[in-house]
A and B are shown apart, each in its own frame.
Chain A
Amino acid sequence: MTVEKKAKELAAQQRAISVAEFFEKNRHLLGFDNPIRALLTTVKEAVDNSLDACEEADILPEIFVQVKEIGTNRFKITVEDNGPGIVKKQIGPVFGKLLYGSKFQTFGGKQGRGQQGIGISAAVLYSQLTTGKPAIVTSKISPKKPANVFELKINTKINEPEVVSTKEIEWDKNHGTRIELELEAKYMEKRASVLEYMKETAVVNPHASFVYIDPKDQKLKFPRVTDKLPKKSKKIRPHPYGVELGILQRMLKETKARTLKSFLTSEFDKVGSGTADEILKNAGKLDGKILPRLLTLEQADALLKGMQGSKIMSPSTDCLSPIGAEVLKKSLEAEYDLEFAHAITRSPTVYRGNPFQIEIAIGYGGELVREGTVNLIRFANKVPLLYQQGACAITKATTSVDWRKYGLQQSSGNMPQGPAIILVHMGSVWAPFTSESKEAIAHYPEIIKEVKLALQEAGRALQLFVGRRAKRELAKKKEEMFKNYAIELAASLAELTPKKREEILNKILKVAEKMYKSGEIEREEEKVKIKKRKTGAFRGGEEE
């Protein structure tokens, strides 16, 4: 066979694989690699969508989640929100087409939960693959209109929704969306469980209220801690430091700007006329008047280097939507019974041109277990990261802090030990996950540094508390010790004098109280520190 013939034969077999078909074969990439994770991922994707939809419409989210066991390894998941609802025409594509949605931004963007518009349709696909059943979506956009009910599947060959049936029903709800999915899954109660996810989600979404009904039919409520919606994030243009060559080329092709200079000032964040001139100068004196579309690959590369080599203001940070330290602390305290909580919102900063912001909260004591590793809960854009803790930049930052300074135990380079919970939240336009299943943040030095600084700041507050508590405990122990010795002393003194034992004891205890108040006992202790002199060769252990 000649090479040419073979090439033609191969050409006959070559075809585009649909995204849906690709994910059908690579479900692990989206977090559906085993039945336990599949259940959690499905709930997670649906809840993420609901929260984003509510916030988008300035609605305080009220979210209902139910996981019902309907057979061996078969579950029905229902997630319902009070969001703005989805117009009839969009229901199909939103749930039945992968990579479809309002969130996917090629250039720039804003902080949101989802990023690619894969999540919920992947769940629909997984449900379809494991049970053959369609997803049931109910959505209503106005009190004046009936709700639309869709039964739909995904045509994996062409990545298009396949509507099985539609109908209109009355729904006693002003607006909102409900999705019901049947899938093959396993339910776990321990680590990385739906319950844990619900609890953690409630902590970082203090403005949302959740109701969760578990497979045992237990109803758990997570009421909202604040009625204030989080600051709405604004869409921003990409920052010059954050673009790569490929993206830059596409932007050059798609821009409506007529000149290279106006391309720079209109398409990028923080680039004004002066900055644009500097970039052009640093790009090997590129002409600012040329049509962007006509730039050669070499010129585009020079432009990129020019952008990286110029001094440009940090990106705008109004694309971020922090939870806020005060609310975060309140929220942590609402979910966990703690003796101490402290939260910090750092100022926004940048990694590779992408603005991000770290928020952390530390809780201590109370219901938390005294022994064992500290509970580290990680979040990216208000979504809990339940898997791959070891691979995450947050974990790396946590283990690199010397927690012994801050009142926790730790063998160096490991997770700290003790009755504490550490919450770390990274908010960003573009959170750099290590994989599409979004479970670990990549090890960018800027991110690790920022998390570490936040942890150290909170650590100092923790140390103050732990130190004070240890001191209080010691003082209490001492007080008890003196009291018990006083009981003995009073008895002996009563043998040696005509005074009554109780009378003497009461008097000693009165002195004790007085001395505690004045702090005299503390001073007494200092006197005790007699220097230990080296004793002579023969200090008799022998009775003499």
Chain B
Amino acid sequence: MAKKKDSGVVKRFESEARNVISTIEAGKNPKMKLPLRGLTNVYFDEKAQMIKLGNKLQTRTFFNVAQAKKFMQTFLLASEIKKLIGEDVTTSIRDIYYRTKHTIADTKENTFDEQSESDPIVEDIEVAFDALREELHLFASSRGSMVGNITIVDSGDTIDCRKLGSGGWAIPSICEPDVIQFKQSEAKFVLFVEKDAVWRRFNEDKFWKNHNCIILHGQGVPPRGVRRLLRRFMDELKLPIYVLVDNDPWGLYIYSVIKQGSINLAYESVRMAVPSAKFIGLSSFDQEKYKLPKEVTIKLSDQDTKRIKEILNYPWFQKPKWQKELKHMLQKGVKLELEALSAKKIKFISETYVPDKIKKKEWLE
């Protein structure tokens, strides 16, 4: 991996550690301030069309029953990250969880019990020390693949995304310009597909070749790498981004995360959100429109209904077209998976549905 320039993160860690020690020396309860992550401190920036982190701060103190462990964990991870940077190695957030997990003193308690405990602390460190994850020499396990009319450079290796067979290029967790560069591209648009299996359909049918585009998937909620890549396609290549997801609340959430960012990573929205992303399907009107048989629909669960009602109130779903779309889903009481289109014909989705929608500009924004 290419050598990272020192971003000053270690210096900021050390300075915070000195602060803690001098507070202790003054006989006081050590504390650190960090931006509050979570619903109470995110807002929707209408102008930028994305979820952003507010400026509320939380104080994490050591002598506090509810915070002591997190306080300790924060510095435990920071000291481990310092080692990574010092040795100039990059590792996964799963790996750092294992490297810092151990039994505390002579107790039966562990520093961390689950990775789900250390991941939020890593995110805390990102915001508290204003550091990008890659500056911490950390990455998440990668997820998602890409093929299309584009040649890229990944860590110095040139990759022609037209010649990647059925699997495509595995999108790494970190897709910053110093790792990934776009070399040559003829693509006219980008198609993001929710699921791996549907993406394979498009790849097998050489959709990207026939329609001169890039296709990628994120296997569910897209990880940081995929989101960052989409954003760079928009920024650097000025490509339109189309999002194809199931017609259910989860699909809408995936679209929402791509477009506006998420609550949890609100501080990363400025680098990852793609406000111009277009929702091309599936729509709640598709069943009638394409005369899909009734059997391919699935009844909405109570949970689904509840979520749709919540989504109806989201500020970025207030356009009349969206309201119509959502209310129609509620009224029909069913959801539709991408695979439902195969009821027409296996290649219906790649040969008819998507090309049609793009041609007729039938999308929501």
Contacts and interface: CB of A to CB of B under 8 A. Distances in A.
A29 to B, nearest CB: 60
A104 interface: no
Contact of A488 (B14, B27, B111, B306): B111
Contacts of A489: 62, 71-72, 75-76
B64 A525 contact: yes
B310 A493 contact: no
Interface string A527-544: 110000101111110111
Interface string B216-247: 00001111100100000000000000000000
B66 to A, nearest CB: 4
Interface residues of B, number: 60
B265 A544 contact: yes
Given A511-B27, A540-B264, A524 B253 contact: no
Contacts of B253: 537-538
Nearest to A541: B116
B105 A484 contact: yes
A504 interface: yes
Contacts of B17: 492-493, 496-497
Nearest to A543: B140
Nearest to B58: A530
B63 A521 contact: yes
B147 interface: no
A493 B75 contact: yes
A480 to B, nearest CB: 8
Given A507-B25, A542-B221, A487 B82 contact: no
A515 interface: yes
B22 to A, nearest CB: 10
Contacts of B66: 525, 528
Contacts of B125: none
Contacts of A496: 13-14, 16-17, 75, 78-79, 82
Contacts of B38: 535
A495 interface: yes
A485 B68 contact: yes
B13 A511 contact: no
A511 B24 contact: yes
Contacts of A524: 29, 61, 63-65
Contacts of B28: 511
Given A524-B61, A525-B64, A533-B40, A504 B249 contact: no
Interface string A139-175: 0000000000000000000000000000000000000
A524 B63 CA distance: 7
Contacts of B61: 524
Contact of B104 (A487, A510, A533, A543): A487
Interface in A445-499: 478, 480-489, 491-493, 495-497, 499
B131 interface: no
A484 B104 contact: yes
A544 B264 contact: yes
A520 interface: yes
A492 B263 contact: no
A538 B220 CA distance: 13
B307 interface: yes
Nearest to A505: B24
B134 interface: no
Nearest to A509: B24
A483 B106 CA distance: 11
Contact of B21 (A485, A504, A544): A504
Contact of B24 (A487, A507, A542): A507
B210 interface: no
Nearest to A524: B64
A495 B17 CA distance: 9
Interface in B1-52: 13-14, 16-18, 20-21, 24-25, 27-30, 38-40
B79 A495 contact: yes
A507 to B, nearest CB: 5
A528 B70 CA distance: 13
B109 interface: yes
B262 A544 contact: yes
A40 B49 CA distance: 89
B243 to A, nearest CB: 16
B158 interface: no
B107 interface: yes
A485 B223 contact: no
A522 to B, nearest CB: 10
A514 interface: yes
A333 to B, nearest CB: 36
Nearest to B140: A543
Contacts of A533: 39-40
A526 to B, nearest CB: 10
Nearest to A534: B39
B181 to A, nearest CB: 24
B39 A535 contact: yes
B27 A510 contact: yes
A216 B136 CA distance: 76
B21 A497 contact: yes
B311 interface: yes
A485 B63 CA distance: 10
4 residue pairs, one from A and one from B, having the closest CB atoms: A496-B17, A495-B79, A492-B75, A528-B66
11 contacts: A488-B72, A489-B72, A493-B79, A504-B21, A511-B27, A511-B28, A515-B63, A528-B66, A536-B39, A544-B222, A544-B227
Interface of B: 13-14, 16-18, 20-21, 24-25, 27-30, 38-40, 61-69, 71-72, 75-76, 78-79, 82-83, 104-107, 109, 111, 119, 140-141, 220-224, 227, 249, 253, 256-257, 262-265, 306-307, 310-311
Interface of A: 478, 480-489, 491-493, 495-497, 499, 504, 507-508, 510-512, 514-515, 520-521, 524-525, 527-528, 533, 535-540, 542-544
Given A489-B72, A495-B82, 5 more contacts: A482-B63, A488-B104, A489-B62, A495-B83, A520-B29
